[in-house]
Amino acid sequence: MTANERKLLSSEMIYSGKIINLRVDTITLPDGRHATREVVEHKGAVAIVPVNGQGEVILVRQPRHATGETLLEIPAGKLEEGEVPTECARRELQEETGFVADSIEKLFSCYSTPGFTNEYLHIYLATGLTYTAENPDYDEDIEIISKPLSEAIELIWNGGIRDAKSICGILAAATRLK
């Protein structure tokens, strides 16, 4: 067994939910020791950095139960079964902000937190925005906020934007738009 190989000895599904599943795996490490890994399974998600013609980023402010806080973020959402990430990005943008985009450009994809989850995020830049009407999920409480891109970046540095997908997405969009 090489240093990067892990042998799966057992896997037990602990919880199966609408957004995530939780399983506990027992693996053999390269030196023969056994270890337990808790894995949060996730279907994947998209996040969108919508930038309007005035150079403003469209953000959403929403309560996040897990943090006990209301956060300022870029629009995002989970992939539906069989859904193509680009189409999910278009759908989530419209549902959460009411905007449709002429252009959806992929910036990058990444694992959100690979130490305990397989969630894979696809981050997009949306431009050529036209407002229609938002259509949030029944359990979403979203406020739409527009900020100049430079101000959104400043919010990152001063702690006003604190979630990883928004920080990475905004900084990548700023780089792409230069």
- Dump the DSSP string for 17-30: -SSEEEEEEEEE-T
Are residues 137 and 70 located together in one domain of the fold?
Answer: yes
* Domain assignment of residue 1, yes or no: no
pLDDT tens per residue across span 36-51:
999 999 999 999 999 9
What is the per-residue pLDDT for 2? Answer: 57
* Domain assignment of residue 2, yes or no: no
Pairing type for strands 120-131 and 45-50 reads parallel
Q: Which of 92, 98, 102 is nearest to 165 (CA)?
A: 92
- Alpha-carbon gap, residue 157 to 174, rounded angstroms: 14
pLDDT above 70 coverage of the chain, percent:
98
Are residues 60 and 106 located together in one domain of the fold?
Answer: yes
**More confident: 178 or 69:** 69
Would you state the structure tokens that stand for residue 49, as one six-digit string? 């950095």
What's the domain count of the chain? Answer: 2
pLDDT beyond 80 at 54: yes
| Residue 52 structural domain | 45-177
Q: Which of 126, 43, 47 is nearest to 92 (CA)?
A: 47
Are residues 77 and 18 located together in one domain of the fold?
Answer: no
Task: Please check whether residue 174 is in contact with residue 153, taking contact to mean a CB–CB distance below 8 angstroms.
Answer: yes
Are residues 34 and 103 located together in one domain of the fold?
Answer: no
pLDDT beyond 70 at 28: yes
What is the distance of C-alpha 84 from the center of its chain?
15
Mean pLDDT in residue range 94-121: 96
What is the per-residue pLDDT for 113? Answer: 94
pLDDT beyond 90 at 134: no
What is the per-residue pLDDT for 4? Answer: 66
What is the per-residue pLDDT for 1? Answer: 53
Q: Is 81 a catalytic residue?
A: no
Are residues 55 and 15 located together in one domain of the fold?
Answer: no
Are residues 102 and 143 located together in one domain of the fold?
Answer: yes
Are residues 122 and 94 located together in one domain of the fold?
Answer: yes
Q: Which of 73, 95, 140, 151 is catalytic?
A: 140
Report the SS3 class of residue 48: strand
What is the per-residue pLDDT for 129? Answer: 98
What is the per-residue pLDDT for 10? Answer: 96
